[in-house]
Copies of this chain bind each other. A is one copy, B any other.
């Protein structure tokens, strides 16, 4: 339903692309902190928006993100020595700090030393609540604050973060987030569990919700209205937050969460799931129900569920269940127990969105009313990318971190109520946050 050119605009995120330039205006989740466990630990390879980088943590524990190829002759800084406040190339010993300054050039005589003139490309990093964020845009445009996600406002131990690599373009994965009706199919069981909670009962009762979407100061708010058989309607709110975030109503247990699909390159994405609770630290008891189960559990992963690959970008976080093995689909289970025969909510999402191919062609789609939110989000993204390119308009949310202090949720409202007003208390977590 969109042209090839529009699809390219939306999907291509490499250097100098419109969408890549847009995304580089935001602080983005860049490095998963467990990959850099301690000061002066081994550096790791990171690819973001098609650019090859190396992440390291210096002697003071400060994270750095530096272009992979050494400015001198291009050897990979991945093999570098991480020592005494900088990363030293093993080829000729040139050393760089987290700001990209060349702080040592030990193979040149004093009279020809030109380290003051050499600067490596680096990007500023901020570590907060389980994520190392980075800013890859023009230095003069760097936003002062991280997006105001609740998780960024809470102590670290109130937040729990996981990642997994997605072998597809970011957009088709992201669209699986605020695509509300798939939950009643993709993630459903054939046998209704006896302990199904109210919200699931309400969702399963009406699998054909009606949708509405409004533009907001963070992106798009999407409402799905379900009939309940009474004079009340059940509204569930999904949020698309620029440029690649999503929130949907909470988990069966008490945790809230948001998702990010951060482009590694055009055909690979790192999916982040950030869970948080406002009132107390997250305990293993909070997480247990989210592990492994088919449904309604998310299928959170343990180390044993990953099959690291050194050749796939982001391959440290490749899941064992992946496209090459059809996600271990069990056709008997599919016939008798679950809709897909694939284990785990997140893996089910991954399966359908990766199965579209590395970068889906949207020319032949047949979108319906259930895709209203998807259409609105695409428009928001492409308009913002065009506005940035044509006259430098800063993308929405970049200058207003408080816009991200929101949440998804669900409410019962009178049948004729204004849903946007009705969900305000649930969605907006800070007084200063407002709709545009």
CB distance from A431 to the nearest CB of B (A): 36
Q: For residue A349, which residue of chain B has the nearest CB?
A: B91
Pick the residue among B81, B324, B339, B369 that contacts A334 (CB under 8 A): B81
Question: What bracket does the count of chain A residues touching chain B fall in?
Answer: 35 or more
A208 touches B110 (CB 8 A): yes
A78 within 8 A of B: yes
B73, A371: Cβ atoms closer than 8 Å = yes
Among A110, A324, A326: residue with most chain B CB under 10 A: A326
The distance in angstroms between the C-alpha atoms of A365 and B105, with both chains bound, is: 15
Is A295 in the interface zone, CB < 8 Å from B? no
Whether A181 sits at the interface, judged by CB under 8 Å, is yes
Distance in angstroms between the alpha carbons of A81 and B331 in the assembled complex: 9
A33 interface contact, C-beta 8 A: no
Stretch at the interface among A150-158, A236-244, A279-287, A356-364: A356-364
Residue from B107, B108, B364 within 8 A of A185 (CB atoms): B107
**Quick check: A352 and B90 within 8 Å, CB to CB?**
yes
A340 B106 Cβ-Cβ under 8 A: no
1/0 per residue, CB under 8 A from B, across A349-379: the answer is: 0011101110011101111111100000000
In A100-125, the 8 Å CB interface with B consists of: 105-110, 112, 114, 117-118
CA distance A108 to B207 in the complex (A): 8
Who on chain B is nearest to A91 by CB?
A: B352
Q: Which of B71, B75, B90 contacts A364 (CB 8 A)?
A: B71
Q: Are A73 and B365 in contact (CB under 8 A)?
A: yes
Tell me the bound Cα distance from A184 to B335 in angstroms.
53
CB distance A356 to B324 under 8 Å? no
A333 to chain B, nearest CB (A): 12
Query: In the complex the two chains form, is B339's CB within 8 Å of A81's CB?
Result: yes
User: Of residues A110, A175, A335, A361, which shows the largest number of chain B Cβ atoms within 10 Å of its Cβ?
Assistant: A335
CB-based contact A342/B210 at 8 Å: no
Separation of A35 and B151 alpha carbons in the complex (Å): 50
In this complex, which of A79, A117, A369 has the most chain B Cβ atoms within 10 angstroms of its Cβ?
A79
The answer to whether B79 and A370 have CB atoms under 8 Å apart is no
Closest Cβ of chain B to A246, distance in Å, is 16
- Does the CB pair B181–A340 fall under 8 Å? no
Give every chain B residue within 8 A of A367 (Cβ-Cβ).
72-73
> Closest residue of chain B to A181, judged by CB?
B107
User: Which residues of B lie under 8 Å from residue A342 when comparing CB positions?
Assistant: 79
Cα A185 to Cα B361 with chains together (Å): 49
Could you say which of B73, B76, B355, B366 contacts A78, with CB atoms under 8 Å apart? B355
Q: Which residues of B contact A93 (CB under 8 A)?
A: 184-185, 207
Check: A200 CB closer than 8 A to any chain B CB: no
A368–B105 contact, CB under 8 A?
yes
18 further A-B pairs in the complex, CB-CB below 8 A; given A73-B365, A90-B185, A93-B207: A71-B364, A73-B371, A74-B360, A74-B364, A74-B365, A78-B355, A79-B342, A91-B185, A92-B185, A93-B185, A106-B207, A107-B181, A107-B182, A107-B207, A107-B368, A108-B208, A112-B368, A310-B326
- 6 A-B residue contacts at CB 8 Å? A42-B331, A72-B366, A74-B356, A74-B360, A75-B353, A105-B368
